[in-house]
Chains A and B, each alone.
Chain A
Amino acid sequence: MLTVYRKLLHLYPAEHREQFGEEMFAVLLDVRAEGVNRKLIARGNLYIREIAGLISGALLEHLHNLVGVDARLSLSTRRFSMRNGFRFPKATAVLMMVILAGIALAIEKARVIQAAYSNGNPPLVPLEAARFTFFPTLVLLLMIFYAFGLVGWAILFALRRSGVHRLADIAGDQK
């Protein structure tokens, strides 16, 4: 179980893990020691609660880092607590560079392969033109993201937490 806890703690953002990881593991050890003397069902419930708490906690911390939303256990009972600034994670820039380098490398490899097999090695069967699906897929993905964004905004609007409402609140305070 301790190995499971350790692995689940790795789901948390590095910043959170660095600040609380060791401490959380110490608490998990205490909770586990407390559960040893319990009956099997009670012990099972305890483990399930801790595992579910770690998974949901890690997801919420990532959500908080990505979009600045504390969707659960925010200080007030209001459902959302939006942070003023949108934070672009540093890791994203590195990841994008790695992906870009991977694509460039793949293109270069393809060129080398094309050059090696272009002469004197005819295909056994006639080649069919590949269907070009990149742009339709891209458009479809954009539409899906747009739809999600629209739904999210509608929820915020319904909760009176949209940017329009926040601006109205600021304007109200300044009067």
Chain B
Amino acid sequence: MAGNDMSYEAIMESLPLTEPVLLILLSLADQPRHGYSILKDIERMSDGRVVLSTGTLYGALRRLLDDDWIERFEEEDTSRGKQSYRLTPHGRRNLQLEVTRMKKLTRLASLRVATRES
């Protein structure tokens, strides 16, 4: 896949991520999940604020698969029709870059807001 050959600049070009995509990646960061489990985890993580429909979820999953951010595999103990997804090393690296970018932004925002308040 072309995704692994992406330069740092090309990856940064694809950031920032949309909130649903970021939540999907975060959902897969700690463990592989199947579609319904991703939906429920996103709902839980966002305190019910983000509720994706099945159509929206699979549109995003298709795109993430195309770009080699995630991979699909069949777990032995799941029934047919419940394929699981996990982050690829490339996807995990991109997620880390996004988290780092957000950390810098929130640190800057905190500093600016604190300066203004003082």
Across the interface, do A57 and B58 meet the contact criterion of CB distance under 8 Å?
yes
B63 to chain A: which residues have CB within 8 Å? Answer: 70, 73-75
**Minimum CB distance partner of B82 in chain A:** A26
Secondary structure dominating the interface of A: helix
Residues of B with Cβ closer than 8 Å to A? Answer: 9, 13-18, 20-21, 34-36, 39, 51-64, 67, 69, 79-83
> Which of A24, A55, A61, A75 is packed against the most chain B CB atoms within 10 Å?
A75
Number of contacting residues on A, CB 8 A? 31
Residues of A with Cβ closer than 8 Å to B? Answer: 16, 19-20, 22-28, 30-31, 49-50, 52-58, 60-61, 70, 72-77, 173
Known contacts A23-B81, A49-B51, A53-B56; A73 and B21 CB within 8 A of each other: yes
Across the interface, do A75 and B54 meet the contact criterion of CB distance under 8 Å?
no
Across the interface, do B36 and A30 meet the contact criterion of CB distance under 8 Å?
yes
Which residue from A22, A73, A75 sits with its C-beta under 8 Å from B81? A22
A58 to chain B: which residues have CB within 8 Å? Answer: 55
Known contacts A25-B81, A26-B81, A26-B82; A75 and B14 CB within 8 A of each other: yes
**Minimum CB distance partner of B81 in chain A:** A26
Across the interface, do B55 and A20 meet the contact criterion of CB distance under 8 Å?
no
